[in-house]
Structure 1
């Protein structure tokens, strides 16, 4: 699976057919088509570390969906942005979602709680399928096929203090394989700290060199 297809599948899972697909054979509305493109572009920009494009495409995506007046759809766009940030270990609260929480559906609220590391086991069935086992107490991120979903799950585990060195290594490998700079730098940083804490200075130095290689030129 290439990075683009993996990203698209993850977005389709995070959202729902109510937003991205056309039911009953009806023509897909223009706002829907435009929103999908903007969501894909802001998520891809976020993962490669292009903050300028990410911000512009996010605002365009949100504006397209806001035309519908449906809070739950705007909530999904906000959650998609928060999910890409969790994948990159940017673990600030999902501030854009909270004003929409009261009008969002149970699946959206469950996903927001999951990203915050606070989903209850009873909410697992409301989550996108790749995340249900993690919410229920599992930690087998390697069993998640989609690369973005795997990184999101690893980020949730780290937030909960449940990310083992093996989970961290899987996250590093996933981000590296996809060429996603932002999460790769974040997860390499975690791996470097683990090496330092374990008294492995040579490994820590090697990881620092790798981070320097990945980091954009200043």
Structure 2
């Protein structure tokens, strides 16, 4: 079985959609279910459950002896963190980076904001367009063209690390997290908005965002 390009919608579809005769091995559905549960738990802010589900998914994939499958799971974990602005070394991926394809290494560089190390042709289409695009018009966001909500947030996190995030991008990312009810990334993006408002001296905007943060975090004052 070959997993097609390595971000969440495609790997989930590949793992779950391998129905054929005879029935696919149990690890495929188990890994897919665990990765979905990981993503749901992490984005909702439930770190304990997220860690357990990711460990289950990784164990199922590691049992195949295929570094490419494990690498894709590690990239899912790191990309989901980037969507929530929890950036840092993608250590699980780095440990097996010598045994994976250039496409996977290029994607790892992309989500880390190291776009000088990215080959756009090796990225999924929506991310490829973002790397290759010129600066959008004022008030416009290229993120709006990315259909999948989590992919959109990952792209926003990559833009932030690369220094290309615009105020319009920030608004799209915040409202994407809000519309999905994803507490962890919503708090992260509201925090970025609050910081920018404070730096700009926009006290009314800052106060309004702080009230929203308190509402989401469950600590209204």
Write the mapping of 1:149-168 to structure 2, written as runs, cut at 5 A.
149-168=151-170
Give the TM-score normalised by the residue count of structure 2: 0.87
CA contact (8 A) 1:172 1:187 kept: yes
Q: What's the offset of the Cα at 1:134? A: 1.6
Secondary structure at the aligned position of 1:40 is classed as helix
Task: Identify the residue that residue 48 of structure 2 maps to in structure 1.
Answer: 52
Q: Give per-residue Cα distances to partners, 1:10-54, cap 9 Å, x unaligned.
A: 6233x3766554287553210011000000000111111110110
- Distance in 1 (alpha carbons) for counterparts of 2:154 and 2:100: 21
CA contact (8 A) 1:78 1:96 kept: yes
Task: Identify the residue that residue 43 of structure 1 maps to in structure 2.
Answer: 39
Q: What's the offset of the Cα at 1:110? A: 1.1
- Distance in 2 (alpha carbons) for counterparts of 1:47 and 1:127: 23
Compared CA separation, residues 117 and 192, structure 1 to 2 (3 A)? same
Task: Identify the residue that residue 190 of structure 2 maps to in structure 1.
Answer: 188
CA contact (8 A) 1:84 1:152 kept: yes
Alignment partner of 1:107 is 2:103: yes
Q: What's the offset of the Cα at 1:135? A: 2.2
Alignment partner of 1:11 is 2:13: no
Compared CA separation, residues 59 and 165, structure 1 to 2 (3 A)? same
Which runs of 5 or more structure 1 residues have no equivalent in the other structure?
1-9
Q: CA RMSD in A?
A: 2.1
Task: Identify the residue that residue 4 of structure 2 maps to in structure 1.
Answer: none
Q: What's the offset of the Cα at 1:78? A: 0.5
Give the TM-score normalised by the residue count of structure 1: 0.89
CA contact (8 A) 2:15 2:29 kept: no
Write the mapping of 1:1-218 to structure 2, written as runs, cut at 5 A.
11-13=8-10, 15=11, 19-22=15-18, 26-120=22-116, 123-138=119-134, 140-216=142-218
- Distance in 2 (alpha carbons) for counterparts of 1:26 and 1:116: 40
Compared CA separation, residues 29 and 216, structure 1 to 2 (3 A)? farther
Aligned length: 208
CA contact (8 A) 1:121 1:137 kept: no
Q: Give per-residue Cα distances to partners, 1:140-195, cap 9 Å, x unaligned.
A: 11111111011000000001111111100000110000000000000000001111
Secondary structure at the aligned position of 1:163 is classed as coil
Q: Give per-residue Cα distances to partners, 1:59-81, cap 9 Å, x unaligned.
A: 00000000000011000111000
- Distance in 2 (alpha carbons) for counterparts of 1:157 and 1:46: 21
Which runs of 5 or more structure 2 residues have no equivalent in the other structure?
1-6, 135-140
